[in-house]
């Protein structure tokens, strides 16, 4: 199996960056090749029996297809047009190649690849890199865990997913009829919790801070899980409601998440959780209590010092 690093090495190893293409893996059920459209523009090529549907190009990747006169097969190319996006482009190409390795039917395989590319193009439109940072992964785990908990308490899947507004750029992660809820993930031994803006704990309605303690662990840990397994568990939980499932997948994209092998490699464990009431006396920095000259700020709150606001 390839890695994104070995794929890049293969590209860089093509002699003199000539205009020819090199087959990636003869054992792969789909005919993938890499090469250069010009001396500097990397290009991924897929040969298929069926004519593909039109795909959108982006500012960084140009998609085109044409029928070959030699055998009447169709050649689809994904060409990098902005060199500064090479890292994301290589990651995208790696994912298209490896995630399609189980596609043995040529027609279904083509549709799978095209749908996969559409997902990636949406990520690129949102200016996402295609790979979440470690802090973002833990944050997403925390928010998914909160979704699981409120659904298990009787909130309908659609209502629960609708209340998850953090991926849309809202200041708080969840807002529902009972108020707002800010979800945080910290290491199990953490002494502080990070607040990233003056707006994060600033709202007129009642609110709460939900803090999950999450650390990396080994797959041998009886209670271990991966980010991918948490996502799949939530999908299973809401699958009976098609609208909720579609909305959840949409919000994952907005968050910057797409199913890739990286998210199945790291294992995590929970070390408990705390909930805190956010009221007018809770220690926080908001625009109403800092000098007007301060336009933005992030800060740390001592976990021990907010024990008096602890709900559970």
pLDDT confidence bin for 142, thresholds 50/70/90: very high
What pLDDT is attached to residue 296? 95
Percent of the chain with pLDDT over 90: 66
- 277 pLDDT band (50/70/90 cuts)? very high
Q: Indicate if 179 and 41 belong to the same structural domain.
A: no
Closest listed residue to residue 126, CA positions, set 237, 307, 253, 4? 253
Chain-wide mean pLDDT for the chain?
A: 91
CATH code for the domain of 121: 3.30.1460
Phi then psi dihedrals of residue 6, to 5 deg: -70, -30
Q: How much is the average pLDDT of 174-185?
A: 94
User: What span, in angstroms and rounded, lies between the C-alpha atoms of 102 and 113?
Assistant: 11
Neighbours of 210 (CB within 10 A): 22
* Domains of the chain: total: 2
The residue that leads in pLDDT, 137 or 1, is 137
Which of 136, 141, 148, 151 is closest to 270 using CA atoms? 141
pLDDT in the model for residue 5: 83
Inter-residue contact 53 to 41 (CB < 8 Å): no
What is the reported pLDDT for 146? 98
Say yes or no: 11 and 92 in one domain: yes
Residue 16 has pLDDT above 90, yes or no: no
Same domain? 213 vs 184: yes
Kindly state whether residues 144 and 60 are assigned to the same domain: no
Q: Specify whether 174 is located in the same domain as 296.
A: yes
Would you place residue 261 in the very low, low, confident or very high pLDDT band (cuts 50, 70, 90)? confident
Q: What angle do CA 199, 203, 208 make, to 5 degrees?
A: 95
Q: Could you give the maximum distance between any two Cα atoms of the chain, in Å?
A: 76
User: Residue 267: what pLDDT?
Assistant: 97
Cα-Cα-Cα-Cα torsion 164, 167, 170, 173, nearest 10 degrees, comes to 40
Least confident of 96-100, 119-123, 307-311: 119-123
156 shares a domain with 109: no
Where residue 246 falls (left for φ over 0; alpha for ψ -120 to 50; beta otherwise) is: alpha
Contact 82, 60 (CB under 8 A): yes
What is the tally of helices (H) and strands (E) in the chain? 7, 11
Model confidence over 149-177: pLDDT tens digits? Answer: 999 999 999 999 999 999 998 999 999 98
Last residue of a domain, one of 91, 125, 159: 125
* Domain end among 94, 125, 156: 125
Q: DSSP string spanning 278-302?
A: E-TTS----GGGS-TT-----EEEE
**Per-residue pLDDT at 153:** 95
pLDDT (tens digit per residue) in 71-119: 999 999 999 988 888 888 888 898 899 889 889 888 999 999 998 898 8
Q: Tell me if 51 sits within 8 A of 43, measured CB to CB.
A: no
Kindly tell me if the per-residue pLDDT of 125 is higher than 80: no
The answer to whether residues 108 and 188 belong to one domain is no
- Write out the residue range of the structural domain in which residue 175 sits: 134-309
């Amino acid at each position: 199996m390839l890695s994104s690093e070995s794929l890049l090495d293969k590209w860089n190893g093509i002699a003199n960056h000539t205009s020819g293409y090199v087959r990636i893996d003869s054992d792969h059920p789909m005919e993938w090749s890499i090469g250069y459209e010009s001396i500097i523009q990397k290009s991924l090529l897929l040969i298929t029996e069926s004519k593909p549907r039109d795909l959108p190009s982006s500012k960084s990747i140009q998609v085109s297809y044409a029928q070959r006169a030699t055998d009447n097969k169709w050649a689809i190319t994904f060409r990098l047009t902005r060199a500064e996006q090479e890292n994301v482009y290589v990651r995208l190409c790696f994912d298209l190649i490896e995630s399609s390795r189980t596609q043995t039917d040529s027609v279904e395989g083509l549709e799978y690849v095209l749908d996969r590319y559409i997902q990636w193009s949406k990520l690129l439109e949102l200016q996402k890199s295609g790979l979440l940072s470690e802090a973002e992964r833990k944050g997403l785990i925390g928010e998914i865990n909160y979704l699981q908990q409120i659904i298990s308490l009787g909130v309908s899947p659609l209502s629960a997913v609708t209340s998850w507004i953090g991926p849309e750029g809202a200041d708080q992660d969840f807002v529902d009829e009972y108020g707002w809820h800010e979800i945080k993930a910290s290491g199990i031994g953490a002494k502080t919790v990070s607040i990233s803006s003056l707006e994060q704990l600033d709202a007129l309605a009642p609110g709460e801070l939900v803090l999950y303690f999450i650390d990396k662990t080994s797959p041998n840990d009886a209670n271990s899980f991966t980010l991918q397994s948490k996502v799949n568990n939530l999908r299973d939980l809401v699958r009976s409601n098609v609208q909720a499932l579609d909305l959840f997948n949409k919000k994952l994209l907005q968050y910057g998440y797409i199913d890739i092998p990286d998210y199945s490699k790291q294992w995590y464990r929970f070390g408990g959780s705390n909930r805190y009431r956010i009221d007018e006396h809770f220690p926080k920095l908001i625009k109403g209590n800092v000098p007007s000259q301060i336009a933005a700020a992030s800060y740390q709150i001592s976990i021990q010092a907010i024990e008096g606001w602890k709900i559970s």
